[in-house]
Structure 1
Amino acid sequence: MKAFVLAFGTRGDVQPFVALGRALSDAGHEVLVAGPACYEPLAAAEDVPFAPINDRWNRLTDEPHIQEALATNYRGLKAKRTAIEVVRRTRQYIAAALDDITAAVPAQTDVVVHHTLLPGQHLAEALGVPAVPVALQPNWVPTSAFPCPMFAPSWLPRSFNRLSYRPAALAPAMLLGAVGKHWRARLGLRTRRGSGDPFRRPDGGRAFVLQAFSRHVLPQPADWPGYAPVTGYWTRAGQDQCPSPALAMFLDSGTPPVYVGFGSMRGQNPDAIGEMVQQMVHATGLRAVVATGAGGIAMAGASTDSVHVVDEAPHDWLFPRTAAIIHHGGAGTTAAALLAGRPQVICPFTGDQPFWSERMRSIGVAPDPIPQRHITAERLINAVEATRSDTTMPRTAAEMGELVRSEGGTHRAVELLLEVSADPARTS
């Protein structure tokens, strides 16, 4: 089998696709992963063939007014105007990325695996091969069990749950606008009804969807169809990475630290967050590894005996060596924390992060979440103390870690892709 894998988004979105690429190679298949150029080192570390594509979208959150809108989850008129700007510019950047993808298409591709926000179904149709969209979050396959995590409030009456997934179904085409249609034309395809829906095959049937999260974290609803299996998390990327000598020395010099990092998220006051982290360390007597990431946490001064500051660190290597993990609730970071088997404290910003933070609380691996707009030093201290005073939480986290590690999600995904490439119309 020869797979063309299209990745998109931040590090937590891209890393599972790189892990899939490694698993495909290990199973004897040919693979090329196309993804944001800034994440080429992730693929290089795993020896996965990689085609860099335009990554200007990944730098949108460097801009202060976009950071401000994200921190409020686009609340208010000003933030809504920013959201419109983000959509407009995202379309421009995706158009450039699609040009790069077109130039990178391998000969004799058998299957196109793609992030839901990249219209891989058009490329697959032009090649005459199956397209397999990937759901890193449970946003895309309707269920009556819970409302859509990305687009619906948790208090929605249960009778509206399935209906709440309609905006998600429309989101890929709405985000792309005319970009997807223009790409179809460049690929030599005619416009047809429903072509913008990544979850429909050209013949109108349902596309096979891989849901890359854990059934132990989110029990599979009875009404999820056979064409949307839950594989488990896709892991491997970064497991063999070595940290900096300074980080390794810090870890070896004392008790396991707390990890604090918000990935690509940046709130309105990184300096205040940094001060809160310092207060938490002082009040709890714990050590901390603080990852400043995209600037969500600003730490005054250099590292000390109790606080080690890094830009980023390999989660798969670092998280199992910590006492607890404070993070933003992104799907990728949440998966890494679960796999590490450590208690979590989640401070969600936007999107699906509130959903994952509530799931972690409900399965007993985290205390009540602290939304970014409500974070204080006292709340942070209390949440960290809860991961120690609640004696069942560390045990539950360790047990959950064993369960999700045992699923072998990446290898299951490879098996399913092989079956789909042999039977593109498969529905179970």
Structure 2
Amino acid sequence: MKILVVTLGTRGDVQPFVALARSARDRGHDVVLAAPERFRPLAAAHGLDLVRIDDGPLALMDGVAGAAVSGGVRAKLALARAMPAAFGRVLEDCATIARGIGHDADVVVHNGQVIGAPHVAELLGVPCVLALTVPVYVPTREFPWPGAPLPPWLPGWANRAGYLGMRGPAVVFARVVDDWRRRDLGLPRRRGRHDPLRRPDGVPVPVLNAVSRHVVPPPEDWPPSVTTTGYWFLPAARPGLPAGVEEFLAAGEPPVLVGFGSMAGADPAATTRTVLDAVRAAGLRAIVATGWGGLVAGEVPASVLVVDDVPHDVLLPRVAAVVHHGGAGTTAAVAAAGRPQVVCPFVADQPFWARRVHDLGVGPAPVPQRRMTAAALAAALRMATGDPAVAARAAALGARIREEDGTAVAVRALEALVTGATAAAPRTPSPPSWS
């Protein structure tokens, strides 16, 4: 089986797909991994070649979009104007892959952010699978749409209605995609062409939720086309941390780990000062991860160690708690490590994960970035590190998650899908009708 895996986004969006690609390769399958160039070292570290797709949307996240998160109308308009061209370049790369190295793929797996992937699968006449680290596509009455900070007390019908938010990209990029379909793929217009949940013949697309059922129990109203596999983790890194980190860990009580990834906010220096003040007020030691700019290095007391990049799967089990922004990947890693979490969400799905952490009893109530003060963060830290019940629940959750093998479940699902598709229909479909 040849699998074309296409993903776009931050490390939390890409790393699970690297894990899927590695697992499929280890089971003897041929895998083409298409992702932004900046993740080539990550892929290479796991023996995978990476086919480049344009970094344009990611570069906007580093620049214009960072300002749009905390900026005004002007910043948001600048982002809206820049996005179609950036995604146009991604579409061009998808067409190149479809005509080249991916032309003989048996299945296409994508994360939804690569809006051209379903159209590539249509061109190749193969199944397309929507794989999600955040359950934002399939409506449910049981919880609000995770794509925005909606209140958790909405009635079931309103929860389902919130998932209409996923139609936004189809509206914004419809003309760009239609022009690309016609020009680069030679595909005609057809009804439903912008719905990633439906195949060209109207049948539901298989959805793989790369989430633990212990963190997000599958809702009863999800259709059979949705499979919750468990998280997609890479194999653990070799034990061992940089000497300075080992020395710091050995010098006192387990510290808290603080990092906001690439979520810089309006003033990373001010956020860093708030974090340091909170840690001091809570009487804790801390490791501050500067990451991609969410926090900044500077003069710190002896009770704080500043690091850039360390293997989190090695460090996480050795800290008392973790303060983070609530990205899907970070939430998953901390949960699997069995550590309490203090989530300080910025935007998008982060408030959803912050609520899940609190509802599961493995962390205090969220501390949103817009309202984060040293006093509020210190109080949350005291609860996360001082309540034995929180620590016990976090440890138990981690043990259950580590029993799952999400990538193996996902690869078996792909194998079954391709086997069934090959037996049921010829590889090349009849041309879709115009509408």
Q: TM-score, normalised by structure 2?
A: 0.90
1:292 aligns with 2:290: yes
Q: Percent identity?
A: 44
Which sections of structure 2, spanning at least 5 residues, go unmatched? 424-435
The offset of 1:416, in angstroms, is 0.4
What SS does the aligned partner of 1:33 have? strand
1:172 aligns with 2:169: yes
Distance in 2, matches of 1:52 and 1:382, equals 45
Distance in 2, matches of 1:201 and 1:61, equals 30
What SS does the aligned partner of 1:35 have? strand
> Which amino acid in the other structure matches residue 365 of structure 1?
V
> Which amino acid in the other structure matches residue 216 of structure 2?
L
CA contact (8 A) 1:91 1:177 kept: no
Distance in 1, matches of 2:270 and 2:92, equals 42
The residue aligned with 2:78 is 85
The offset of 1:263, in angstroms, is 0.8
Q: Spell out the pairing of 1:45-84 with structure 2 (5 A cutoff).
A: 45-63=45-63, 66-71=65-70, 78-79=72-73, 81-84=74-77
The residue aligned with 2:260 is 262
The residue aligned with 2:39 is 39
Distance in 1, matches of 2:410 and 2:45, equals 21
1:338 aligns with 2:335: yes
Distance in 1, matches of 2:308 and 2:210, equals 27
The residue aligned with 2:147 is 150
> Which amino acid in the other structure matches residue 219 of structure 1?
P
The residue aligned with 1:421 is 418
Distance in 2, matches of 1:33 and 1:238, equals 20
Q: Deviations over 1:15-38 (max 9, x none)?
A: 000000111011111101110111
Aligned pair count reads: 417
Structure 1 residues 33, 240: CA separation in 2 closer, same or farther (over 3 Å shift)?
Answer: farther
Structure 1 residues 27, 241: CA separation in 2 closer, same or farther (over 3 Å shift)?
Answer: farther
Structure 1 residues 244, 54: CA separation in 2 closer, same or farther (over 3 Å shift)?
Answer: farther
The offset of 1:327, in angstroms, is 0.2
Structure 1 residues 241, 94: CA separation in 2 closer, same or farther (over 3 Å shift)?
Answer: farther
Distance in 1, matches of 2:422 and 2:149, equals 31
CA contact (8 A) 1:289 1:309 kept: yes
CA contact (8 A) 2:282 2:379 kept: no
Structure 1 residues 219, 300: CA separation in 2 closer, same or farther (over 3 Å shift)?
Answer: same
The offset of 1:363, in angstroms, is 0.3
Structure 1 residues 349, 152: CA separation in 2 closer, same or farther (over 3 Å shift)?
Answer: closer
The offset of 1:240, in angstroms, is 4.1
Q: Spell out the pairing of 1:128-147 with structure 2 (5 A cutoff).
A: 128-147=125-144
Q: Which moved more, 1:354-363 or 1:417-426?
A: 417-426
Residue number among 186, 192, 195 corresponding to 1:194 in the alignment: 192
Q: Deviations over 1:356-408 (max 9, x none)?
A: 10110000011011000100111111111101222100110010001111121
> Which amino acid in the other structure matches residue 130 of structure 2?
P
What SS does the aligned partner of 1:423 have? helix
Which sections of structure 1, spanning at least 5 residues, go unmatched? none
The residue aligned with 1:214 is 212
The residue aligned with 2:89 is 96
The residue aligned with 1:112 is 108
> Which amino acid in the other structure matches residue 98 of structure 1?
L
Distance in 2, matches of 1:103 and 1:238, equals 34
Q: Spell out the pairing of 1:254-403 with structure 2 (5 A cutoff).
A: 254-301=252-299, 305-403=302-400
